[in-house]
Each structure stands twice: as C-alpha cells, then as structure tokens.
Amino acid sequence: MIFSKKKITTEYTVEQCTKCGTITKRKFHQGDILFTEISHCHSCDGLTRIEKIFGETVEQ
Ligand SMILES: [Zn+2]
C-alpha cells in the first residue's frame, strides 16, 4: 500500500497594533514586508505593524 501525502504550505502574516497591542493573524499577501506599518487597528486608531511572517505546513 502506498501512501501519498500532499503537503500544502500556507503563509501567514501576524500584525500587531503599535498602540494597544492587539494581534491579528491573517493570510500572507504579496507585498507584505516585515516590520512595516501597513494598516489601521480595529480596536483603536493605532497603526498595525507586521511582526511575523511564517508558513504552516499541512499534510493532506
Ligand atoms: Zn490598537
């Protein structure tokens, strides 16, 4: 019996608000650069900064 597992890597971007510290995890978008301030926080008027970009590998 042959097992064929397919591995899929999904990249994620973690943003953290520089004002209130709220962390948001979302899927990586083309053009995301580490430690850049890109969007506005949902909870306050602060800017969110990209803290981490990582990949998660899932076997299917
Ligand atoms: Zn905030």
- Please give the average per-residue pLDDT across 35-56, as a whole number: 94
> Separation of 11 CA from ligand 1 center, angstroms?
23
- pTM attached to this predicted model: 0.78
Instruction: Say if residue 12 is exposed, middle or buried (CB neighbours under 10 Å; 0-12, 13-18, 19+).
Output: middle
> Separation of 16 CA from ligand 1 center, angstroms?
8
> Separation of 18 CA from ligand 1 center, angstroms?
7
Q: Is the pLDDT of residue 32 over 90?
A: yes
**pLDDT reported for residue 2:** 73
pLDDT bracket for residue 16 (50, 70, 90)? very high
CA 1 vs. chain centroid, Å, equals 38
**pLDDT reported for residue 24:** 94
- The H or E element that residue 13 is part of is strand 7-17
